[in-house]
Amino acid sequence: MDVRRRINELSRLLLHHQHLYYVLSRPEITDLEYDRLLQELAELEKRYPQWASINSPTRRVGSDLDNSLEEHPHTVEVLSLDKEYITAEVVDWMGKLADRHGDSTGFVVEEKLDGASVVLYYRNGELERALTRGDGNTGNDVTANVRTIPSVPLILGSAQDLVVRGEVFMHRDDFQTFNQALENRYTSPRNLAAGTLRQLKSSQVARVPLRFNGYEAWMDAGKFAWSPEGTSLSLETDHVARLSYLQTAGFRMKGHAGFFCRDAGRCREVSQRLPELTVGTPADLESFVNQARDRRGRLNYEIDGLVIKINEIPLRESLGATAHHPRWAVAFKFDAPEAETRLSGIQIQVGRNGRVTPVAELEPVTVGGSTVSRATLHNQEYINALELRVGDLVQISRRGDVIPAVEKVVEPAGDGGTVFHLPNHCPFCGSGLVRQGAHHFCPNRNCPERQRRALIHFTGRGQMDIESLGEKTIHFLYERGLVRRIPDIYTFDPDQLSGEPGFKQRKIAAIREGVEASRNRPFSRVLVALGIEGIGNAAVRLLIENGFDSMQKLIDTAARGDPGSFAAIHGFGETTAGALVNYFQDNQNLSMIRELEACGLQMQAQNETGASDRSLENTVWIITGSFNHFSPRSRAEKEIIQRGGRIASSVTHSTTHLLKGESPGSKLKKAVETGLIIVDEDRFLDMLSTK
């Protein structure tokens, strides 16, 4: 027991000194003293492995074992953010929300670190798992690698269940030194941080000076005991309080942040709690943005904008989210990196659903550290607004530091040519183009380019993930007439490629194995792979959670011709609902689905909801107000979905129930007028306990 006690004592001491050194920058012992303590612990753990903790400080060194990056589902929503580039638009967004929800509505503004997003899961106060953002629903397990990051607390000060979302990043000077040793293999600190996280040996990760900054926290309200003193801030209702808690829990809070609110008293209260926050009214945001933009180049870490979030947690839950981003937050992106170059041509692309997209061909130029030679031009209206001609000198940017875009004409072409116009006919099949809204479409479903793009999408990594069927291989198979339609992937014989240039037996075997493995991809992947307009991973998850967990259910619902059943899903809109109805009413699509089913593809979700209780089947719910037992409200949504019910964002003809909490919003009045069944929290708990 003396040995076990010493191991625990050394672990506690070392974690304490790691926090002082890496987070607070206030070391109390020399490096030599620290190394001696670490060496003693490592030797004891080697001799007595049964008493070594999974979160021992020795884990910072990493392991030479191969880490397989398994996938695990997130238990919290890990969404992207809507983006704005104009300060006035953000101020207007804040003002509208304050008008609607009261002057006490607060907005927290934080620097948007340019790193790799990671979610940390703590159980009973110890780091249990770390996941990448992934697709927002499922992430890669990088726990062994994250444990090597010194600024990540391995053990919290109290035995709480906690989820923390944050950013893994690098300081600029660390990046420059480390990247030079790698012969400048990486173009930015973000790329090196993201690439390092996916290393298969954590001992390699431990050598890279990664850092972590937390910016969101979720906790189990029933177990959480910490509360700030001398203030009305509450962890259950207040984001500022959660930031304060993260500091006390051992997380390093990076950068300059602000709090903006019309209520001066509220600003004073927040300033007392976190004096480092800049406070002001929404009208002061522009000044804060300008200061952040001026400060950006002097920082020792990279930021690409600011994130503006509503402070009040219940209001966030009330506003909810789309399938892509929350309605309570927005990312303000700094001016994108820009450069000037010559437009050498315009190429026409046709997508899998027939949309025609003009693409600018540019003389290569470096923008934001990357060479750019192509940029999207969106549609004819975009070209007309720019008055764009081939040969023009143009200004291009990387919006969001990622997507190349032509911003304006700097100098027109000297030959005085005319503004570029899209052709009247599809360049791939000759069909007359049809205009719908701002876009042109090729209406020919047998257009070879549409078919090729559909095949490439279907086999892609985010869909059926047939790695051996890349874009070049798909083009070759199509030109040879071996694969023209999606079902052909499962019926053609790869041995037909024997003797073809570039197709040796090893590659042919890989194609066969990849195709066979894809037959076992889950229903959710199959549905995304079909390429329905607007139906990506997030939308498919919502469909399955709301009871549309088989292809037949989707077909039967669409056959009624009423998009309302889909539009009632929280996060769906009329456009997405209409796209589903149109797709599943189409005879060609239905015929293809039947062929894919005969090929052995999964047409029903297996254990997606994980519940046999169907007591709420055929019910559609909306939720309003705040709750004691269901914070965040997504917990109530999960209970309903697991029992076969569905969640709607507003009252429609298909809505049956309203779950009412404290301080309900305007939905309650409409629900009463419509005659919905009103259920309070106590009754809801009774319903859940009665199967």
Q: Where in the sequence numbering do the catalytic residues fall?
A: 112
Strand 329-333 relative to strand 82-84, pairing: parallel
Question: Which phi and psi (to 5°) does residue 555 adopt?
Answer: -65, -45
Q: Strands of 211-219's sheet, edge to edge?
A: 126-132, 116-123, 162-169, 211-219
> Cα–Cα distances in Å, from 516 out to 464, 521, 604?
11, 10, 18
Residue 501: helix, strand or coil by DSSP? Answer: coil
Is the CB of residue 68 less than 8 Å from the CB of residue 227? Answer: no
DSSP sequence for 427-493: TTT-PBPEEETTEEE---TT-HHHHHHHHHHHHSTTTT--TTS-HHHHHHHHHTTS--STTHHHHS-
Cα–Cα distance for residue pair 311/198, rounded to 1 Å: 33
Name the 3-class secondary structure at 113. Answer: strand
Measured distance CA(691)–CA(678) in Å, rounded? 19
Count CB-CB contacts under 10 A for residue 603: 17
Indicate the SS3 state at residue 146. Answer: helix
Are 263 and 74 a contacting pair, CB within 8 Å? Answer: no
- Is the CB of residue 142 less than 8 Å from the CB of residue 121? no
Q: What are the DSSP calls for 537-595, one per residue?
A: HHHHHHHHHTT--BHHHHHHHHHTT-THHHHTSTT--HHHHHHHHHHHH-HHHHHHHHH
Give dist(CA 427, CA 349) in Å, integer.
Answer: 9
Both tokens of 499, joined, read: 């003797």
- What are the strands, taking DSSP E only, across 311-438? 329-333, 338-350, 355-367, 370-376, 393-399, 403-411, 434-436
Question: In the beta sheet, which residues pair with residue 212?
Answer: 168
CA distances from 319 to 97, 308, 577 (A): 10, 15, 21
| Residues 62, 67: Cα–Cα separation, whole Å | 11
What is the rounded CA–CA span in Å between residue 456 and residue 445? Answer: 15
Return the closest-CA partner of residue 286 out of 308, 317, 311, 264: 308
Question: Judging by beta carbons within 10 Å of its beta carbon (0-12, 13-18, 19+), is residue 24 exposed, middle or buried?
Answer: exposed
Q: Helix (H, G, I), strand (E, B), or coil: what is residue 239?
A: helix
The whole-angstrom separation of Cα 168 and Cα 204 is 16
C-beta separation of 592 from 485 below 8 A: yes
Residue with tokens 């992106």: 333
Give the Å distances, CA to CA, from 636 to 133, 271, 317, 507. 24, 34, 12, 49
Distance, CA of 396 to CA of 411 (rounded, Å): 13
